[in-house]
């Protein structure tokens, strides 16, 4: 995983639920074909960073990193967002832009 997980409080979870209900933020679980195991997740959030319409974070299960799953999720997500979603410039902080550069990108 490229970014560190954080402990979510009930306030954080409530905010996420409201964002999902309002269709401003989205989360997608990646599961095995038989749906018996969660092997990754994709999070799409609106952003205030200048020059971007959304920011995306994703992860793959540690046990699946060696087989390249995280790279496949990343590429599939990039392709899917480019072909289906109405975004013109999506950021993948810690992937296509360093976290340092991302934090220094001015707000709109």
3-state secondary structure labels for all residues of the chain: CCCCCCCCCHHHHHHHHHHHHCCCCEEEEEECCCCCCEEEEEEEEECCECCCCEEEEEEECHHHCCCCHHHHHHHHHHHHHHHHCCCCCEECECCCECHHHHHHCCEC
> Is 13's pLDDT higher than 60?
no
Question: What is the pLDDT at residue 7?
Answer: 47
Q: Which CATH class is domain 19-104?
A: alpha beta
Domain ranges of the chain: 19-104
Convert the pLDDT of each residue in 28-83 to its tens digit.
Answer: 889 999 999 999 999 999 999 999 999 999 999 999 999 999 999 999 999 999 99
Given a cut of 70, whether residue 3 has pLDDT beyond it is: no
Query: So what's the pLDDT on residue 10?
Result: 53
Average of pLDDT values for 25-29?
Answer: 86
């Amino acid at each position: 995983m490229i970014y560190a997980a954080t402990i979510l409080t009930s306030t954080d979870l409530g905010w996420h639920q409201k964002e999902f209900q309002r269709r401003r933020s989205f989360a997608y679980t990646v599961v095995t074909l038989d749906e018996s195991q969660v092997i990754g997740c994709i999070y799409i959030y609106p952003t205030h960073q200048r020059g971007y319409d959304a920011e995306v974070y994703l992860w793959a299960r540690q046990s699946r990193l060696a087989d390249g799953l995280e790279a496949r999720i990343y590429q599939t997500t990039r392709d899917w967002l480019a072909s289906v979603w109405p975004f013109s410039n999506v950021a993948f902080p810690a992937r296509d832009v360093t976290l340092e550069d991302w934090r220094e990108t001015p707000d709109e």
